[in-house]
Structures are given as structure tokens and as C-alpha cells.
A and B are shown apart, each in its own frame.
Chain A
Amino acid sequence: MIAGFLSFLLALQAASASPASQHLHAGLLAAQGGRLDAAIAEFKQATELDPKLAPAFLDLGEALIEKHDYAAAVAPLKRALEISPNIEGAHRLLGYALLAQGYASDAVPHLEKAHDEDVLGIALLEADRLQDAVIVLQKALARHPNDPDLLYYYGRACGQLSKEVFDDLEARFPESARAHEMMAQDYAALRDVGGAEREFLEALRLRPQTADLHLELGGLYARAQQWDKAEEQFRLEAQLQPGSPEAAYRLGESLMQLGKFHEARLALVRSDELKHDMPETLYLLGKAGNLDGDDTLAEKSWLHLLTIENNTSLAGQAHFGLAGIYRKQGRTADVDREMELSRQLQGTQDQTQDSPK
């Protein structure tokens, strides 16, 4: 900003070498040299000598912002706008100074006038104008998609807006199925199984056909290792949403834990049909086949998985499973190869020997 105005001021100086202009010129040179205290002193002298010299107020405000003295910057910037309402940069700087001090609502109109969407989005977020913040930050992100700060504030705004909407739902419809579902999710996040279970069941009582409720309740039981209850819920979800690959997958997973491998296999085949090439489904399908005595299906599923991903821990598990099949078949070289790949991918260091010095 200061550099931008330099040519203008030099021209002014040439036209009229008033004392105020001389101080303003000196201030600009000091600011250019990084001597902010000297610049501020010169700008102040300029404003005292000519209380209507808007650029002097503007540059004083900017120098103070550069010094992080935001409180002091506000008055000269406001004065600059009083003298010259359209002076370039003043609204933006005043918006910064106000926002930096926590006066987000006051900063918003200035930033709007400055069309500074990046900072305006943050100000709107801080002013709790969440819907506006989300819109503005989305626009800013469209221009700067790789800006981590913008992504952070956008995420925060979305999260807070979501919470605000849910709070509103809970406040206005406390006995609705959705309110109970949300309460259940809150309890689940706190790992309070009893509380979450109670709320999920109430939500289901109020609206039994709600999609995903059984899935969520089943997930809660699964995290608590209550696999028999989890199976029941996943089965209900799979009946409710026969086209849901996730419901079929989770049903298969719970059946595996219960040792019902044949049923698990059927559910996992269904999940695979509904959504192809999911590595987790393929891994579990291979495991179900293996434990159900069908090594052909197991090998096929695991080899297919390895064509999709071959450098993850899951791939390591698939290699371990293949080693088991080949061991039964007496294919020693294949066993050794698969075991080595499994060890590499699962990161299981051999801790049975001393580390080499």
C-alpha cells in the first residue's frame, strides 16, 4: 500500500511542497526503509499540520497495523474515510484492524466494501453469521483452493453451522426421532454405550423406518464388541435398505465375528455386487471364504484385492491369508514370498532379534 502510494505522493510533493506533504514524504521513505517508528512520527506530524490530508491518516493507520498496534490504527483509518470516503484501501485496513481486535461485526461492512472475501469470510464466521460465512468462504476457496487457512475456516464454519442447525432442531423438536438420533450420536461420540443405545432405540420407536438408524446402532454395538446385537441391527438395516452395500458389508462383518461364515459370505458377496472393488469387502469376503472352507473364493478375492491396492496394511493381510492357503498346499516358496510381503506391508518388525548396531 505504502509503495503504491509513493508515486502519487511524489507527484503531490512536486506540485505542492507543503510542510505536511514533506512529512508525509519523509514518512513514506522511512516506512520503505523499514523504520516504522520514524514513519509513524512523520505521518503524525503530517496529520497534525494538515488535518484534512487523508493519505497521511491512511498511511499512519497502515504503519500502525504493521506494528501490530491495531487499537491505535482504528482512529486514523476512520478519519481517512471521513475525509475521503472512497480512498482506496482504507476500508480493508480498517476491517483488518477491527477484526484483529475481535470486533468482527464492525469489521464486516468495511471488508464487504473492500470486496476482500478471504478475510470477510473469517469475519462473518467470528460474527456468528455462519450461513454468510460458508457462502463467502466457498467463493474464496474457489479462487484459492489450496489455501490451508481458508480450508480450515471453511471447515469450521460448516461445522458450526451444522451444530447450530442441530441445536435448533433439538430445541424446537426435542421429542422428534431426529433429535433422539442426534442425542444418540452425541452419546456415542462420548463412548457412552448405554446412553447412545437408549436414544437410538427411542428414535427407532418413533420412526422405525428411518434409514441408517439401525446401521448406526449396529455400529455402536460393534465398537462395544457386542457382536450379537450388532448383527441384529445390521440385518434390520440390510432389510430396510437392500441396496446398501454398507449395510450388507457390516452385516457380513458381524456374522464373521459370530463365526457364521457361510451367512457372512453371502452378505459380503451381496455387498460386493452392490459396490465393486471395495478393498475392505474383498478382504473380508476372502476371509469368509477361507474360514468357510472355500480357499478358491478366498484366493480369488485376495488376489483381486491386490490388483486394486498393493501397498497397504490391508494388502499385507491379504498376503498373510494367501500364505495360509499356500501353506496348506505345501507351496513353500509361495508361502515365503507371501509372508515376506505381509511382513513388509503390515510393518511388523521382527522384534525377536537384537537390532543391528
Chain B
Amino acid sequence: MGRRITRRDFLESLAAMGVGLPMFDAKHPRGLDFQHVNSPTPQKYLIETMGGGVALLDYNNDGLLDIFLVNSGQLTNPMHTPETFDRHDPRNWNRLYRQNPDGSFTDVTKEAGLTNAGDGNYGMGVAVGDYDNDGFPDIYVTNYGKNTLYHNNGDGTFTDVTAKAGVEAGGWSCSAGFFDYDNDGHLDLFVTRYLLWDTQHSKICGQEWQTYCPPAEFPATTNILYCNRGDGTFEDVSKASGISAVKGRSLGVAFADYDDDRFTDIFVANDGMRQFLFHNNGDGTFTERGLEAGAALTADGKPLSGMGTVFQDYDNDGRPDILVTVLPREVYALFHNDGNGLFSYRSLQAGLGLLSAASSGWGVGLEDFDNDGWKDLFVAQSHVLDNVEEIDHMLHYKEPPLLALNQNGRFERSDSGVASAIAGRGAAFGDLNNDGWMDVVVTSLGGEPLVLLNNRGGRAAAHWLTISLRGTRSNRDGLGAKVQVNGQTRFATTAGSYVSASDKRLHFGLGGTDTAKVEIRWPSGTHQVVENVKANQILEIREADKP
């Protein structure tokens, strides 16, 4: 006492509290040398501007998150059939980077057996899930062309099992995700498809400035639901389940049980039309209820240019809400889950009118970046038109990502630490260095990915808890589980965002509290409570044997 606080002391205190510091250090870590190839042409093929998938997964179970990046491929001006996209050229490969203990990465694409992306496949996105419950995450790559399922052999290698599994889809797939819609313990697969489009039936739009055409120029198409038979094969149940009863222009997908009936529902972000909310009827069928639930259109009844989406509880009321990223002069749509199966449009209340009306959003996540117990918003941003600035000086093609901190349900812009604008597309979320602070990997169309390492670790005093689910009667990763920690709720998923897959672990910020009560409702129906959990740890919770 009595010692006068010096200016240096004061600044150090601020730093210790994390005040004034940008949230992330934007890095290109050693060894992560990926360069996305989209090869734009004067033909303005729509696929050029849509790719950029990224996944965070621990493929070798060494406890460190690895990064899988989807490449697109080579286009010619104009394209001729048969289309190959030169996927045999190493520059156009998808890439798997293993994280080393020192935070650097090693390209293991070749030794993992992932060099063959498939002739005729222009890459889009990625989904991750342990579809055979063998404890190793498998990778599903979506393409314009045919999709590929890579089975993780558990020895650092993967095998293309697409044909055997029966999940090649075809057409133009974008986001996809694993989830267990029938709660049988086997992960099923949902695949969004964008448009009925191919290079031979492409169009160029615009007059003075030639641009990519809006989606309404091309016919809508169906999404696909594959049911996991549990024997390494899948059955296309799109028709039987009712999923293909409606056609969309679908880009994003996310899963959660919005009506608390224990069956995981599906939200699909559609571009330039109404959004889909597929209610899981619990009998293997779905009913599209977006309009009647109030989650299909804006408050003015207008369609959205839906791209990415996330389905999590942003206001800690225990119910999953829906956020959809869109084009500028719309506002990122936030559909608040009011209960009783109804949603209300809350974008403006949540501050998104100010934050997003001039921006285009793609990959999106609701994660607690400052560990204060409220999920914050991160959006990878960039306009869809690479020449938008010539058409409209008020808009920008490249944009910095949006980071907005959640202040009791209202989002406020914060310094992400990304100084330069990028053509953001995919975004995957996870704790890369296991320090308890959520990190992000963002892809840039035609560019290098950015690794955003959360720099609050060790500086701010907030506590955290990361939970790794180990299903026994449920699917092994517990995807679909509803996990509640100290009044916060998360639904276990790797899906959401845009063409991306995030870490399967569930992260909770605990603020000043150093213990937690964890409550899990597993997909099997098992209800499990773990009391007095110490903060600041990565905790594996094994599903209880009895309900």
C-alpha cells in the first residue's frame, strides 16, 4: 500500500485483463503452406467464388488439432468436357496438415493417402465425423462433381470408401455435416446442394461489368440425407425422409434440437430464397417448417441470401438460436428461439444492423472467445463478386473478418487483430494450442488460410472448461448431445459455418467461476450430471452405461 501506480504498472494491468488487446494473433504458422486455387476466369463460372472449406480435427488422436484444407482446382477459359480441374497437379490437391507439439505444421497429405481428390471434382467443403465409431475422425469432401468419403484407418492413413459407402451425391455440393438423426448411435450425413448448374450451362451476368450471376438464374435443387446403416454403408433416404420434398439453393447447414424433443433438427441456409428448418419428426421423416416457425424470412417477409449458418444458443436461455450470414444491404439474420417451436427475427435487437449491413458473411461461429460465459460472433467476410467495387463503390470485395463480443445477448464489434482484408470463405473453430481459449482458422478464396490464435490465454483471468464427449450407447463423439455448463448450453456438432467443420470438443467460458456443473443429455436419451468439475481443463466425459 502507499506505492504510487506508475504508468507502466497501469498498462501492464490492462494487458493482464486483456483490455485493448486484439483478440487474435493472425499467423501463417510454419509448415502451413497451403494456397487455395480457384483459378477465376472471364467466364465467371459460379463455382469460382464459392469454395474454401476447412476442417479442424485430431486425425491421429495425439491431442492436437490438425487442419484439413479443401482445394478447388484449375478452370480453363472456357471449360471443355470432360472436366478434370487438374486435380492430379499437387498445387490443386486438398491438404492435411498435422500439428506438431511446437505449434508448427507438417504436410502429411501424401503419407495420409489424400492426394487423389478425384478427376472432375472442383472442391468446395468438408465435413468431419467418426461414422464407423472406431475412434478416429473420418473426412467427407464436397465438390462440384462427386463427393468423397475418406475413412480414417487409425494409422495416419485414409482410404477412399465413397463407392462402398454410397455417398458420392453428384451435382454441386457445398456444406455437409454428420449427425445422428435417428439416435441409433451411427452418424448420418446431410449434404447441401446449391444449384442445378454446370460449366456448359453457365451464364455471365451484368452489362458494363461482367459478374457472377445471382442464384435465381439457375434452378433450385434437392439436398441429400444419407442414413448410416451401421455397416460402413449409407442409404440415400432423401425422398423417404421428406428432405427432397423441397428444393433449395442451399449453402450452409447446421444441426440442433430446437424443440427439445430429443431428435436433432436441421437448419439449411438457402441463397436468395426462404430458409429451411427441417423438423425431425422422430420417425425417420422430416417436415420443413421454416415459414411457420418464423425462421425462413426477414422481419419484412423478404428472402435472405443465406450462406453460412450456426445453430447454437447465443443468449443463454437454453434453446438453440439460428444465425445466417448473408450479403450486404441485408443484415445477418438472427432467429431467436422463443420456445414452442417458434422463432423471432432478432437481428436488430442483437446489434447486427450496425455490424453487418455493409458486409458479406460466409463462415460463422458462435464461440466464447473471451471466456466470459457468453458466445461471441465470428464471421469470415468478403463479397461474392470479385469486381463489386467497380459496380458499387460503397462495397468491398475483400473484408476483414467480423469479431463481435456478446454483451448479454447484444453483439459489439471488437478488434479481431486481423488488419488486412481477405476474401474470407470457410471458418473452423477449435482450441489449437489447448490453452483454453478458442482459436479460428479462416480460408481466403484464392489465397492462404489465416490461423487466428487467441491471445488472451495467460493474460485474462477468466476460467474455461473444454469437454470431449465419449459416447457409448450414443455415437462415439456424442454429436447431437445437449451439454449445459453453469447455465450455458451447447449442442455437440462439428457442422455449421460454411463448407467447414470445427473441433468436436465443446468449449465453455466460465468467467470468474472456477468450478462447473456439467449436465449432458446424450442422443441415446441418457441424462448425466457431473458436479464440481474443476475449471481450466479438457475433460473427457464417457456416456454413462445406464440412462
Task: Mark A residues whose CB is within 8 Å of B.
Answer: 190-193, 223-228, 256-259, 261, 287, 290-291, 316-317, 319-321, 324, 327-328, 335, 339, 342, 346, 348, 351-354
Contacts and interface: CB of A to CB of B under 8 A. Distances in A.
Interface in B341-397: 342, 344, 348-351, 353-354, 357-358, 392-394
B394 A224 contact: yes
Contacts of B288: 352
B394 A191 contact: yes
A353 B248 CA distance: 9
B248 A320 contact: no
A67 to B, nearest CB: 38
Contacts of B358: 224-226
B220 A259 contact: no
Interface stretch (B107-115, B256-264, B296-304, B477-485): B296-304
Contact of B342 (A223, A256, A328, A354): A328
Nearest to A224: B394
Contacts of B301: 316-317, 319-321, 342, 346, 348
Contacts of A193: 393-394
A322 to B, nearest CB: 10
A290 B349 CA distance: 12
15 contacts: A193-B393, A223-B394, A225-B358, A257-B353, A257-B357, A291-B349, A319-B301, A324-B344, A327-B292, A327-B342, A339-B291, A346-B301, A348-B303, A351-B249, A351-B273
Given A324-B294, A328-B342, A256 B394 contact: no
B297 A227 contact: no
B329 interface: yes
B205 interface: no
Nearest to A194: B393
Contacts of B331: 257
A221 B249 CA distance: 32
Contact of A327 (B216, B247, B294, B354): B294
A8 to B, nearest CB: 56
Contacts of B410: 259
B220 A227 contact: no
B348 A257 contact: yes
Among A193, A225, A261, A353, max chain B CB count under 10 A is at A225
A256 B247 contact: no
B352 to A, nearest CB: 8
B328 interface: yes
B246 interface: yes
A99 B247 CA distance: 61
Contacts of B393: 190-193
Contact of B348 (A223, A224, A258, A339): A258
Interface string B301-328: 1110000000000000000000000001
A352 B354 contact: no
A49 to B, nearest CB: 60
Given A190-B393, A226-B358, A352-B247, A259 B297 contact: no
B299 A259 contact: no
Given A192-B393, A225-B328, A352-B248, A256 B348 contact: yes
A274 to B, nearest CB: 24
A228 B354 contact: yes
Nearest to B299: A287
B357 A259 contact: no
A224 B329 CA distance: 9
A350 B251 CA distance: 18
A190 B390 CA distance: 11
A287 B298 CA distance: 12
Contacts of A257: 331, 348, 353-354, 357
Interface in B259-275: 273-274
Contacts of B328: 225
A30 B269 CA distance: 75
Contact of A291 (B246, B273, B294, B299): B299
A328 B294 CA distance: 10
Given A226-B358, A227-B357, A259-B350, A353 B299 contact: no
Given A291-B299, A348-B302, 9 more contacts: A193-B394, A224-B358, A227-B357, A257-B354, A259-B350, A287-B300, A327-B292, A351-B249, A352-B273
Contacts of A354: 247
A291 B350 CA distance: 12
A191 B392 contact: yes
B246 A353 contact: yes
Nearest to A220: B394
A348 B350 CA distance: 27
Contacts of B216: 351
Contact of B299 (A224, A321, A348): A321
A351 B247 contact: yes
B212 to A, nearest CB: 19
A258 B291 contact: no
Contacts of A317: 300-302
Contacts of B291: 339
A226 B328 CA distance: 12
A228 B246 CA distance: 40
Nearest 8 interchain pairs by C-beta? A320-B301, A225-B358, A225-B357, A257-B353, A352-B246, A191-B393, A259-B348, A317-B300
B409 to A, nearest CB: 11
Contacts of A352: 220, 246-248, 273-274, 288
Nearest to A230: B354
A346 B357 contact: no
Contacts of A287: 299-300
A227 B292 CA distance: 31
B11 to A, nearest CB: 29
A225 B329 contact: yes
Contacts of B274: 348, 352
Contacts of A226: 358
A226 B300 CA distance: 20
B353 A259 contact: yes
Nearest to A229: B354
Contacts of A261: 348-349
Contact of B354 (A223, A258, A319, A328): A258
A259 B358 CA distance: 16
Given A328-B342, A353-B247, A259 B302 contact: no
B206 to A, nearest CB: 16
Interface string B56-74: 0000000000000000000
A190 B393 CA distance: 8
Contact of A227 (B300, B342, B353): B353
A190 B300 CA distance: 29
A324 B393 CA distance: 36
Contacts of B348: 256-259, 261, 291
Nearest to A339: B291
Contacts of B249: 351
A28 B331 CA distance: 73
A346 B303 CA distance: 10
Nearest to B249: A351
A290 B249 CA distance: 30
A353 B222 CA distance: 10
A197 to B, nearest CB: 12
Contacts of B353: 227, 256-259
Contacts of A291: 299, 348-349
A259 B334 CA distance: 13
Given A225-B328, A257-B354, A320-B300, A351 B392 contact: no
A259 B349 contact: yes
Among A190, A223, A227, A353, max chain B CB count under 10 A is at A227
Nearest to B351: A259
A259 B354 CA distance: 9
A261 to B, nearest CB: 8
Contacts of B297: 320, 348
